[in-house]
Each structure stands twice: as structure tokens, then as C-alpha cells.
Amino acid sequence: MSKISIKDMNLWYGDFQALHGVSLEIPQNEITAFIGPSGCGKSTLIKSLNRMNDLVEGCRIEGDILLDGKDIYKSNTNVNTLRKDVGMVFQQPNPFPMSIYNNIAYGPRTHGVKDKKELDEIVEKSLRDAAIWDEVKDDLNKNALSISGGQQQRICIARALAVQPEVLLMDEPTSALDPISTAKIEELVTELKEKYTIVMVTHNMQQASRVSDHTAFFFNGYIIESGDTRKMFTNPKKKQTEDYISGRFG
């Protein structure tokens, strides 16, 4: 079942067209990976799924993006609710310069949770779900910037989970991390797909093949090929895909 359907979408930054006629189905409770060389439009597409592109000046979009069958670019869409439902984790870990507890509680508070006990529960559950509770449970009042980069990234994942999203967008979540932290995040992501639909941009071919169920290969603003990850990596239909996956360019 498709959680998100992208239909014939074009996107411009000013005069520059960054996406050309992109269509893609993103299945529920599975991991979809976006791969492709730098500047091919994969980050642009992922940022369109929670309308973070609205913050980019001169960005214009044509076509439809449906979340559970509803067009998220309709004028009556509440962008704040959309972003609550479609959470995002960034390339660089970006915890706020405040305590770990307040980082996680920020989202729920934003959406109206005030009760201290309820917040405590959300914080603990989110940190457990992000597999970092045991590492930080005694340091919840510590500044989130004082922990390691890998831990920070899991704090950011916990922060995104705390508002109970349905979809989790991850824009190269491990590219700034060391191999051990990367392995932890990958393991975490495979666990998270039980509850969430996950879309992940990655530069790392092995990561895409290890973690994802579906893959879309982007090139110059077009989706060249998309489908089941295993099939695509063992038996790509297009020559370009094969060349990229085998490392001949990109």
C-alpha cells in the first residue's frame, strides 16, 4: 500500500528546473532509498514531502504529492500538521543548544502537550525508540551539543519521533558519522520501519542495498529507475543505473 504517491511532479528553483516529471509510490512501513549523484534532485524531492521547500525562496512546484490520498500542496493544507506527520532528520545532526530533555520535549510542547508527566513519558519512549535511552538516561539535563555526533543524530531521530509522525524523512542521516555510529543508525532504521514509513537519501550504495526495501535512482532531475532494492541492485533495467551502482560514475 502506498503511503505517499508522487505524480508527475516538476520543481523549479527560480529558472532552474530541479525535478522533471517525477512519479513515485512510497509504500507504507517500508524503507525507500533515494540514490544518485550529487545535485540530481533526491534531496529536493525529499524536502518536498514535508514542504520544507516552502522555505526556499523561488521554489515552485507542479504536479501532485498525495499523503494517504490527500494532496499536501492544496491551499488548505496545514503545513505545521503536515510536518508533524512527516518528520525529518537532517544530514548534519542539528540538536538545539538546550538539554537533551528539552530537545525531545520541544516538538510535543509545540503541539500543545503541557503535562509534565506526559512529557516525561514521551521523552523516555522517544529515546528508547531511537535506541539511545540507555546512553543518556542519567544525563537528560545535559546540553545536547556536548554528546558525540552519532548520539546527537539519534537524539534528532528521537526528537522527530516525539511528535508521533507517520513518515520519517532522512536526508543522508549518516554521512557525517563514523562507521560505528552509522551501523547503529542503520540498525535503528530497520527497526523503525515496523511503525513508520521511511524515506532515506543516501550516497552510500552499500547502505541503500543493506537497509532499503525500495530504491529510486535519480539522475539530473529525473527518476531513471525505481523498484525493489534487491532486484535493482542485482539486475538493473537501465544501463545508467547499472553504471552508477557499480561505481562507474557518480
Partner 1 sequence: MKAKRLEGVMQGVFLFSALISVLSIILIIIFMFAGGVPFMMEYGIVDFLFGDRWSPSNTPSSFGILPMILGSIFVTIGAVVIGVPIGILTAVFMAEFCPPKLYKILKPATNLMAAIPSIVYGFFALQLIVPIMRNFSGGTGMNMLTAMILLGIMILPTVIGLSESSLRSVPRSYYTGSMALGATHERTVMKVIMPAAKSGIISSVILGVGRAIGETMAVVLIAGNQPIIPQSITSGVRTLTTNIVLEMAYAAGEHREALIATGVVLFVFILMINGLFMMIKRKESKA
Distance of CA 178 to the CA centre of its chain: 19
By CB under 8 A, residue 88 contacts partner 1: yes
By CB under 8 A, residue 163 contacts partner 1: yes
Give alpha helix (H) positions in 22-148: 42-48, 79-85, 100-110, 116-129, 133-136
Radius of gyration over every alpha carbon of the chain, rounded to an integer in angstroms: 18
Q: Which amino acid is at 28?
A: Q
Taking CB under 8 A as the binding criterion, the range among 10-18, 74-82, 114-122, 179-187 that sits at the site for partner 1 is 74-82
> For residues 43-60, b (16+ Cβ closer than 10 Å) or e, as one string?
bbbbbbbbbbbeeeeebe
Number of residues that bind partner 1 (CB under 8 A): 28
What is the rounded distance in angstroms from the CA atom of residue 109 to the CA atom of residue 107? 5
What is the rounded distance in angstroms from the CA atom of residue 156 to the CA atom of residue 153? 5
Q: Which positions from 135 to 154 touch partner 1 by CB under 8 A, shown as an x/- string?
A: --------x-x---------
By CB under 8 A, residue 50 contacts partner 1: yes
By CB under 8 A, residue 80 contacts partner 1: yes
By CB under 8 A, residue 84 contacts partner 1: yes
Minimal distance, residue 59 CB to partner 1, in Å? 14
Binding residue (CB under 8 A) for partner 1 from 36, 41, 87, 173: 87
Nearer to partner 1, 154 or 159 (CB): 159
Minimal distance, residue 152 CB to partner 1, in Å? 11
Binding residue (CB under 8 A) for partner 1 from 39, 62, 70, 81: 81
**Could you list the residues that contact partner 1 (CB under 8 A)?**
50, 52, 55, 79-84, 87-88, 90, 92, 94-98, 106-107, 110-111, 143, 145, 156, 159-160, 163
